[in-house]
């Protein structure tokens, strides 16, 4: 008796990454004052591809350990290959540029589209005179995910 091979399919779904994303996909860390710190590290799961376009956006509201908003500092987003050898800086800007999530006219839309596949990384760094607290901060990154089943 032979078994028929079940064809693999691809499902497209919206992607919203934030501070509540599971830890096997996203690592959220505290940042040290006065140095560029990797505060968000996102690893694309196996059998998935994530696509981001200029219609997708990034929101970032950094806070210190007391819950006060950090209003000065520089945010950078980097793209890495799975081995973290190839590094590409997608954008860099002052923290105030990323502080809107409601008003479409004030949101920070990604400057260019990109695709990440299994095990590749998206890393956000933050550099400020004030230490960053992961417990009090918020962020959102939107995109599309394609999952092989």
Q: What is the DSSP letter of 134?
A: T
Residue 87: other Cβ atoms inside 10 A: 11
Please answer whether residues 43 and 119 qualify as being in contact, where contact means their C-beta atoms are separated by less than 8 angstroms: yes
- Give pTM, 2 decimals: 0.91
Buried/exposed code over 114-147 (b: 16+ C-beta within 10 A; e: otherwise): bebeeebbbbbbbbbebbbbbebbebbbbbbbbe
pLDDT digits (tens, 9 = 90+) for 12-25: 999 999 999 999 99
pLDDT digits (tens, 9 = 90+) for 65-98: 999 999 999 999 999 999 999 999 999 999 999 9
Q: What is the pLDDT of residue 1?
A: 46
Q: Quickly state the pLDDT bin for 6 (edges 50, 70, 90).
A: low
Give me the residues paired with residue 40 across strands: 28, 124
User: How far is C-alpha 148 from the chain's CA centre?
Assistant: 21
């Amino acid at each position: 008796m032979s078994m028929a091979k079940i064809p693999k399919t691809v499902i497209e779904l919206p992607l919203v990454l934030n501070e509540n994303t599971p830890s096997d996909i996203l690592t959220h860390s505290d940042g040290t004052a006065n140095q560029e710190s990797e505060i968000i590290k996102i690893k694309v799961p196996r059998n998935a591809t994530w696509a981001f376009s200029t219609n997708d956006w990034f929101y970032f509201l950094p806070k210190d350990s007391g819950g006060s908003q950090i209003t000065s500092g520089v945010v950078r987003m980097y793209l890495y290959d799975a081995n973290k050898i190839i590094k590409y800086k997608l954008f860099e800007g002052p923290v105030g540029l990323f502080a809107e999530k409601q008003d479409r006219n004030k949101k920070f839309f990604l400057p260019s589209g990109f695709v990440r596949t299994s095990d590749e990384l998206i890393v956000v760094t933050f550099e400020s005179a004030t230490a960053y607290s992961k417990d009090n901060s918020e962020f959102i990154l939107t995109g599309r995910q394609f999952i092989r089943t």
